[in-house]
Amino acid sequence: MENKDTYDRHWEELHAFIDNDEMETFREKYLSMHPYDQALFFQEQQENIRQRIYTYLSPNETADFMEHIELEDIKPFITEMDPRFAAMVIGEMATDDAVDILNELEKEIVISLLTMMEKKDADEIKELLHYEEKTAGSIMTTEFVAVYQTKTVKDTMQFLKAEAPDAETIYYLYVIDEEKHLVGVVSLRDLIVAEGDVRIADLMNKNVFAVSVGKDQEDVSQVMRDYDFLALPVVDFQHHLLGIITFDDILDVMDEEASDDYSKLAGVTDTDRPQDGAFAAAKKRLPWLIILSFLGMLTASLINQFENTLSEVAVLAIFIPLIAGMSGNTGTQSLAVAVRGLATGSFSQQGKLKLILREATTGLITGIVCGAVITGVVYLWQSDIFLGLLVGLSIMTTLIVATLAGTLVPVFMHKFNIDPAVASGPFITTINDIISILIYFGLATTFMQFLK
C-alpha cells in the first residue's frame, strides 16, 4: 500500500463488497493485494466477516495469506474454520509452515486435521512433526529440488521445470547419489550457463555445507548469518538429504530467539503481547517476581544484621539506594554485553577470557572515577571526609564486582549449556544489591571508629 489514505480506501471498498455480497469483485480486489496486506485486513475483521471471506476464497488462496500471520495469533482462525476447509488450507501451505501451525494446536485437533488431509500432504507433515521443537528438523521444509549426480544439465532443466512450482526455492539444487546421500550443490546460474550435455557430477560444487537434523535452530541461524546462505541442507547422521532450511524461516527463528532473550532479560517467561489479558500478563511475570521477592527479603535481612552500625551512624542509610542502584545498573550493562556477545558468537571469536579481562578493566576505571566523584560530593554535602571516603570506596568496589558478576554469570551459564539470558536483568540487579550491601556495611563496620 502506498500510504495510509490509500490503505484505508482499499479496506472501505473491501467492506462494501462484503456488505453487498459482491464475491467476484471482492476476490479481484483482495487477491490483487500483497498476501501480507491480505493478512492485516483479515485479522482486523469480526468472526462473522471472516466466515464470509472463507466462502469467497479457495484453500490455496487462504493459505497464501495465513502464512503471514504470527504463529501465536493463528490458532483462533484455524479452529473457527470448518474442519475440512482448515485441513485443506494447512495442506496447501509449505510443509514447514504447516508443522509450525499444528504445533500450536491441541493434539486432538492435529490428529483430526491430519486425518482429513490428502494422504500425500499428511505424510509429509507427519515426517516433520516428530522432530524436537527448535531443531533443524522442526523448521526445515521437504519441498526442495534434489537431482542425481548422473543426470545431464539438459535432463536437470527439464526436471526443474516440472518440480519448480512446488519447491520453496530453486536458486540451489542439491545433488545426491543413488543412496540419496548429499554429495554436492549446483546453483541455478551454473545450470543456465552450462552446456546441455554436461553431467551434474562435473558441474556441482562438492564443498557443500549441511547441518544435522538435530542441530539447535539458534546454531543454524548463526551458520546462515555467517555464511550468507539463502538455503541450507539438512542431513541425518548418515548424511542422507532430508530437507532444507530457507532464509525466510531463519528470519522467523531470529525474531523468535530475540523475543525469547528479551523476555528473559525482562524477567518474564514470555514476551507480553498487546492482546494478552491482565491475568495472562500477570501469570507470565509472577514467577520471577516471587523469586525476586525472596531475594529482596534476603537483602532486608542483611541490612538488619547491621542494625547496630546503622543505629550508631544513621547517616549511612541515606546512601543505601545510591550504592545499590549503581551496582545494579552497571551489572545490567555488563550483562547486556555478555548475553549479546554469547548470542552472536563474538565471544568465541576473541575468547571469553579476553572479554572478562576487558570488563574487569572497565569496572575498575568506572569504579575509580565514580568513587572519586562521589567522595567529593559526600564530603561537600556532609562535611565528613571519612564518610565521603567510605561511600566512594564502597561505590568503587561494588562497581568492579557488579561488572564482573554481569559478565561471569552468563559466561558460566553458557559453559554449562544453560541459556545465558536466564541471568535476567532483575536477577543480576538483585544479586548485586546483596553484594553491594555486604560491601558497604562491611566497610562501615570495619571503620566505625573513624565515622564516630
Express each pLDDT in 223-248 by its tens digit. Answer: 888 888 888 999 998 999 999 998 88
Express each pLDDT in 342-355 by its tens digit. Answer: 766 666 555 678 87
Residue in the structure block whose three cell numbers are 490458532: 75
- Per-residue cell: 87: 485441513
pLDDT computed for residue 422 by the predictor = 59
pLDDT computed for residue 425 by the predictor = 61
Express each pLDDT in 350-372 by its tens digit. Answer: 567 887 888 889 989 999 999 99
Residue in the structure block whose three cell numbers are 551434474: 200
Between strands 231-235 and 211-212, the pairing is parallel
User: In whole angstroms, what is the distance from residue 424 CA to residue 125 CA?
Assistant: 37
Q: Set out the domains of the chain in order of their start, with CATH numbers.
A: 4-130 (1.25.60.10), 146-247 (3.10.580.10), 278-451 (1.10.357.20)
Exposed (0-12), middle (13-18) or buried (19+): which is 222, by Cβ within 10 Å? Answer: middle
**Where does the pLDDT of residue 1 fall: very low under 50, low under 70, confident under 90, or very high at 90 and above?**
very low
User: In whole angstroms, what is the distance from residue 63 CA to residue 103 CA?
Assistant: 17
Exposed (0-12), middle (13-18) or buried (19+): which is 294, by Cβ within 10 Å? Answer: exposed
**Where does the pLDDT of residue 297 fall: very low under 50, low under 70, confident under 90, or very high at 90 and above?**
confident
pLDDT computed for residue 303 by the predictor = 78
Between strands 172-176 and 211-212, the pairing is unpaired
Express each pLDDT in 115-166 by its tens digit. Answer: 999 998 898 888 888 888 889 998 898 888 999 999 999 999 999 988 888 8
Residue in the structure block whose three cell numbers are 546454531: 219
User: In whole angstroms, what is the distance from residue 282 CA to residue 244 CA?
Assistant: 39
Mean of the per-residue pLDDT values for the chain?
Answer: 84
Q: Which residues contact 48 (CB under 8 A, 6 or more apart)?
A: none
Higher pLDDT, 285 or 216: 216
Is the pLDDT assigned to residue 292 strictly greater than 50?
Answer: yes
Amino acid of residue 145: V
Higher pLDDT, 444 or 281: 444
SS in 3 state form for the chain?
CCCHHHHHHHHHHHHHHHHCCCHHHHHHHHHCCCHHHHHHHHHCCCHHHHHHHHHHCCHHHHHHHHCCCCHHHHHHHHHHCCHHHHHHHHHHCCHHHHHHHHCCCCHHHHHHHHHHCCHHHHHHHHHHHCCCCCEHHHHCECCCCEEECCCEHHHHHHHHHHHHHHCCCCCEEEEECCCCEEEEEEEHHHHHHCCCCCEHHHHCECCCCCEECCCEHHHHHHHHHHHCCCEEEEECCCCEEEEEEEHHHHHHHHHHHHHHHHHHHCCCCCCCCCCCCHHHHHHHHHHHHHHHHHHHHHHHHHHHHCHHHHHHCHHHHHHHHHHHHHHHHHHHHHHHHHHHHHHHCHHHHHCHHHHHHHHHHHHHHHHHHHHHHHHHHHHHHHCCHHHHHHHHHHHHHHHHHHHHHHHHHHHHHHHCCCCHHHCCHHHHHHHHHHHHHHHHHHHHHHCHHHHC
Taking residues 246-253, what's their average pLDDT? 84
Express each pLDDT in 39-82 by its tens digit. Answer: 999 999 999 999 999 999 999 999 999 989 988 889 999 999 99
User: In whole angstroms, what is the distance from residue 84 CA to residue 307 CA?
Assistant: 71
